[in-house]
Structure 1
Amino acid sequence: MDEKLYQDYVNILREELVPAMGCTEPIAIAYAAALAGKTLGTVPEKLDVCVSGNIIKNVKSVIVPNTGDMHGIEAAAAAGALLGDADRELEVLSVIRAEDISALRRYMEEAEICVSRAETDRVFEIRLTAFSGTHSAGVFITDHHTNVVEIRKDQQIIFRADPEAEQNAGKTDHSVLTIEHIVEFAEAADLKDVSETLERQIACNTAIAREGLDHPYGARIGQILLDAGGDGVQNQAKAWAAAGSDARMSGCDMPVVINSGSGNQGITVTLPVVKYAEHLQVSHEKLLRALIIANLTAIRLKAGIGCLSAYCGATTAGCGAAAGITYLYGGGLREISHTIVNTLAINSGVVCDGAKASCAAKIASSIEAGLLGMHMFQRGSEFRSGDGIVTKGVENTIDNIGDLARNGMAGTDREIIDIMLSRCPRMD
């Protein structure tokens, strides 16, 4: 592997595997509000929040952490503007204390907070403007959660990203990822280059999963899986990942190390690999190399789909986890490639109807599909080119999934958002 490609892979892991507290879409709104308030220099009297439909979809039903169990765009924006620390980015609300909640509730009653749906082709867009007296401050975020492309105060632009940085969302180009090179990188990587990132992922995501198993968060999917299915490693893999999502979707303030902009996806690529590494009693080095494969496979899949879509991201993360587990069993490029293709043939098309308690169940389903895909190839069975959207070559099948999710499901995405907003009021 040449030096530039090697460094690109290291950079992708460092850029994508970052800590976040709470569901990342409301946290992105809180971050924009905190940044606007910081630019304004005072607590805003009014907030105008204009966001794309997919942001609305993913904020509607999750609890915003450290807000006293409040949910929705208004709560996220108010918490960020009044109490958030913009310098902490996706941990912007981590500074809020329990004694701050009453002040937050008063602020939401007194401040004017206006929310609207953006008329945009972008799936990820936040335009937030804060007002105080005759002054205003605006923040524009696109494409991913911390990609600030413009900040203005009153009529003056004080920051604007250059066009190339905006197009790439400030990140390393993900088109360099291939399954062949991912496996090569995982096997050859100097772990000193990635161990800090991966160790943080293991620690954070294991901790929130334990929290989800120990307490009755959400629909208690993780707890129910263990109660109904026992302590076998396959059930443990599903239950621990689901439990992390149980806690996260219900406002737990513990950080998660994300993957592809999503805490649920970060949890899904991590916990099954950790549980299988414990079961197989492999070395810690082997676990870290398996997590490289799991994470980069999920990122490769998500790169063609886009940050937000109608295609459930847990399915790509479950596929990544299965690729990592295949490596733990001694699999190489051939075995990992077939596991990926089998998995994509099984579970593709699960829709994303926003972040909420049922994400934990979708995570369990996605991990189940990934493990079935692995077990199929271990036993000499596989899906072949022409079986639906499966085609010859793992990269070509991945590209088909990207086209399906990005292009084919665009109308599905619009319909999901319309249904959620017009027919599905929250029942608190």
Structure 2
Amino acid sequence: MEKAECKYRAYVQILKEELIPAMGCTEPIALAYAAAVAKKTLGAIPDKVVVGASGSIIKNVKSVIVPNTGHLKGIPAAVAAGIVAGDPDKELEVISCVTPDQISEMKQFMEETEIGVVHIDNGITFDILITLYKGSSTCTVRIANYHTNIVLIEKDGTVLKQLDAGIEEEALTDRSILSMEDIWDFINTVDIADIKETLDRQIRYNWAIAEEGLTNDYGANIGKVLLKSAGSDISLKAKAMAAAGSDARMNGCELPVIINSGSGNQGITVSVPVIVYARELGVSEETMYRALALSNLTSIHQKTPIGRLSAYCGAVNAGAGAGAGIAYLCGGGYEEVIHTVVNALAIVSGIVCDGAKASCAAKIASSIEAGIFGYSMYSHGQQFLDGDGIVTKGVEATLKNVGRLGKKGMKETNEEIIKIMIGE
């Protein structure tokens, strides 16, 4: 792919747009961001808060610890953090700088302030509507479709900002230009200088949280459990390191991660196993960068038709992406890469997303295992063929089926999961 091509520049930009830092699970952080923007616009600490959230937001916030809150969970905690200590200019790092006094203030705010939470359904999977009240003054902020997409700011009946909430990700580079063939072309021809800064930050941040997960006690400690039996097995070490990053992230660790497709868990999954393999195999730094670009873009390509939130576990896409990157590191060519992806998806596409929580780390490990096994299968002359369930002829056609499954097929599944989680 020539550097002067529009597509080349678009692929570089997609990586820059997707691989951004976030602290904690991105759904509660989006709530904190909306709350921080609303508080700044209102100009005062509110005496009443009403939070409207779509089912998928409720699902993904219910069980995860919000960082820098003293281990608080849930929507009220995320909103309180944004109001009391949020810096809206930091977007998904909105609560990255919190003092001990502010943590005490959050708890006091939650005790003294009415914070109502209502389930809203405006036909948008990702939907947050926060209204703050201070005496006769009000401010409403709405985020729709993705984590930083503010579509409404209204104060005292005056609309300060309004966008069409029905348009998904209009401000982002068109992801429909992605294809496995073009991704392969791009990662083999890209000038590393164009992606190095973006990937260096991913390596630095995500490796740090993986090490933190192995060092301290987080959640179910899936990473530690896996590492105890890893020995010299590189595949087990890759799963353990990635799972440890999720252990930490889902259970209150205050380190940021570089996300992928709006998700920190997916960002960890596409990067940490590839870094493990690159270092264990002793490949050049350039080769590692190309493998990471392949893993990241492959995951983004799979996730685009599904959308940011679904009942389809995003770790599956990321694990298949990691498998593609690992196949490349092991000397695989284009055929090995695309068959790795298809094989992996055929194995684990049934994993459901029942919100962000400790068990995400185990799902990540399973998805990475499927990615690695998908490559091993093809290396031994085996593959899943056209007609094997959702697998069909051609990698793009199979990815289209997976997108359909995740977005349309699992819509009712998502609704049932939400009902189970909120006790309906």
Task: State if a TM-score over 0.5 links the two structures.
Answer: yes
Q: Aligned with 1:311: secondary structure? A: coil
Match of 2:53 among 48, 51, 54: 51
CA contact (8 A) 2:22 2:256 kept: yes
Give the corresponding residue for 2:276.
275
**Distance in 2 (alpha carbons) for counterparts of 1:249 and 1:137:** 31
The one of 138, 147, 150 equivalent to 1:148 is 150
Equivalences for residues 161-180 of structure 1 within 5 A: 161=163, 166-180=167-181
Letter in 1 for 2:239: K
- Matches of 2:33 and 2:164 in 1, distance apart? 21
- How far residue 229 of structure 1 moved from its aligned partner, in angstroms, is 3.2
Query: Once the 2 structures are TM-superposed, how far is the Cα of residue 12 of structure 1 from its aligned partner?
Result: 0.6
DSSP 3-state at the match of 1:304: coil
CA shift, 1:161, in A, is: 2.7
Q: Distance in 2 between matches of 1:169 and 1:151?
A: 18
CA 1:341–1:200 in 2, change beyond 3 Å: closer, same or farther? same
Could you tell me how far apart the structure 1 residues matched to 2:99 and 2:407 are?
Answer: 40
Gaps of 5+ in 1: 424-428
The answer for the alignment partner of 2:257 in structure 1 is 256
**In structure 2, C-alpha distance between the alignment counterparts of 1:231 and 1:24, rounded to whole Å:** 34
Aligned counterpart, 1:39: 41
Indicate the residue corresponding to 2:76 in structure 1: 74
2:377 match: 376
| Superposed CA offset, 1:367-403 (max 9, x none) | 0011110000011111110111100000000000000
Is the 2:319–2:364 contact (alpha carbons within 8 Å) kept by the matching residues of 1? yes
Cα distance change of structure 1 residues 167 and 227 upon mapping to structure 2, 3 Å threshold:
closer
Percentage of pairs with the same residue: 56
Query: RMSD of the alignment, in Å?
Result: 1.1
Aligned to 1:426: none
Q: Check conservation: 1:144, 1:169, Cα contact below 8 A.
A: no
How far does residue 98 in structure 1 lie from its aligned partner after superposition? 2.1
What is the alpha-carbon distance in structure 1 between the residues aligned to residue 229 and residue 63 of structure 2? 27
Give the Cα separation in 2 of the matches to 1:61 and 1:184.
41
Equivalent residue, structure 2, for 1:291: 292
Aligned partner of residue 173 in structure 2, secondary structure: coil
Check the 8 A contact 2:151/2:165 in 1, yes or no: no
Deviation at 1:422, TM superposition (A): 0.6
Number of residue pairs matched by the alignment: 422
User: What are the superposed Cα offsets for residues 13-72 of structure 1, whole Å, 9 maximum, x if unpaired?
Assistant: 000000000000000000000000011111111111001000000000000000001000
CA drift at 1:169: 4.0
- Following superposition, the deviation at residue 119 of structure 1 comes to 2.1
* TM-score, scaled to structure 1: 0.97
Residues 143 and 169, structure 1, Cα contact 8 Å, conserved in 2: no
Unpaired runs of 5+ in structure 2?
none
Equivalent residue of 1:140, what SS?
strand
Q: How does 1:233-244 map to 2 (within 5 A)?
A: 233-244=234-245
Residues 1:214 and 2:225 are matched in the alignment = no
* Equivalent residue letter for 2:57: I
Which residue pairs with 2:183 in the alignment?
182
* TM-score under structure 2 length normalisation: 0.98
